[in-house]
Amino acid sequence: MRGPKRPLGVVTSWVRRQPPKVKAFLAVVTGMAALVFIRFIVHDHDNLFAAAEAAHALGIGVLIYKLTKEKTCAGLSLKSQDLTALFLAVRLYCSFVMEYDIHTILDTATLLATLFVIYMIRFKLRSTYMVDKDNFALYYVVLPCAGLALLIHPSTSHNIVNRISWAFCVYLEAVSVLPQLRLMQNTKIVEPFTAHYVFALGVARFLSCAHWVLQVLDTRGRLLTALGYGLWPSMVLLSEIVQTFILADFCYYYVKRQIDLDLCRTSHVKIVGPRPIRSYSLDIGIIRSRGLGVPFWSITNL
C-alpha cells in the first residue's frame, strides 16, 4: 500500500506533465525569484563573484578527485579543459595588467587546477580518454570569439591589445563547456563525477550572471556606462546569459534525476529505465566502458 505522496514529488510530477513552453516559463519565473531572493540576502555583490569562483573550484576539485582516486578520465572532454585554460590564462594576463585584485588570486588557483586536470588527461590517463567522442572542432568557437573580440571590445583607456584580449576571454568563457556537452551527446552517458562538475559550472554561471544583473539593477544602468560605450556592455551581459542558458538544460535534468532517485529510495521503488522525455534523460546504472566497471548516468538525446 502506497503512502501519501511527498509535496516535492507532487510538484515534480506536475512540472513533468507540462508542455515545453510552460516549463520554459516556469524556469524563467524560478530564475527571477532566485534573483530576488539573492538580492535580499546578499548585500555585497562581490560575494556573488567569489561564490561563483568557489563553485567552479569545487567542480574542478571533483574532477581532481575522480582523476586521482578513480584513475580514469572517461567522460571528460579534454577540449573543454583546453578552452577553460585558454580563457583563464588570457583573463589572468588582463587581470595583471588592468586590475590586480582578489580575482587575480582566484583565477590563478583555478588555472593551476585546470592545468593539472589537462596534464592528467593528456599524459597519465591517456588510455581512458575518449578521444573519438571528444570531436568538437575548437576553431568553431575560438575563431568566432576572436573575430567578435576584434569588433566589439571595451572602449576604455587601456591598451587596445589588452581590451581585445579581455573581450576574447569573456566570449570564450561563454562557450567553453560546449565540447563537454558534445561529448556527453556522443557517448550517451554521463559519469557521475562529470555530472557533478558540469552542475557546479551551471551554479557558478548562475551566480556570476546574478552578480552582473543585480549590479546593473542597483546602479540603475550606470554600471553599463562604466564598462564603456557601444555594444560592449550589452555583450558582457549577453555572454553571461548565453552561458547560463547553455548549462540550464543539463542542470534541470541533473536536479530532476537527483529528486527522482531520492523519491525512489524513500518509497523503495526501483528505477527500471529512462523516461521518454524531450531532451536528456539521466538513468543511473552500471556499464562497462573501456574495461572499467564504473557507475554512469545514461543519456538519451531525443
- The answer on pLDDT for 277 being more than 80 is no
Q: In the chain, what percentage of residues exceed pLDDT 70?
A: 64
- The answer on pLDDT for 84 being more than 80 is yes
E strands in 205-302 = 282-289, 292-299
Lookup result for grid cell 549577453 = 238
Q: What pLDDT sits at residue 121?
A: 94
Domain ranges in the chain?
Answer: 20-271
- Which amino acid type is present at position 26? L
- Summarised one tens digit per residue, pLDDT across range 254-271 is 776 766 666 565 554 444
What's the 3-state SS for 97-164?
HHCCCHHHHHHHHHHHHHHHHHHHHHHHCHHHCCCCCCCCCCHHHHHHHHHHHHHCCCCCCCCHHHHH
Helical axes 78-98 vs 160-175, angle rounded to 10°: 150
**Distance between CA atoms of 155 and 233, rounded to whole angstroms?**
10
pLDDT range class, residue 280, cuts 50, 70, 90: very low
Contact 128, 290 (CB under 8 A): yes
261-295 burial by CB neighbour count: b if 16+ within 10 A, else e? Answer: eebeeeeeeeeeebeeeeebbbbeeeeebeeeebe
Segment 81-101 shows an average pLDDT of 88
What are the φ/ψ torsions at residue 289 (nearest 5 degrees)? -130, 115
Lookup result for grid cell 573580440 = 149
Of the two residues 108 and 229, the one the predictor is more confident about is: 108
**Distance between CA atoms of 163 and 232, rounded to whole angstroms?**
11
Flag whether the pTM goes above 0.75.
no
170 by Cβ neighbours in 10 Å (0-12 / 13-18 / 19+) ranks as buried
- Summarised one tens digit per residue, pLDDT across range 117-126 is 999 999 999 9
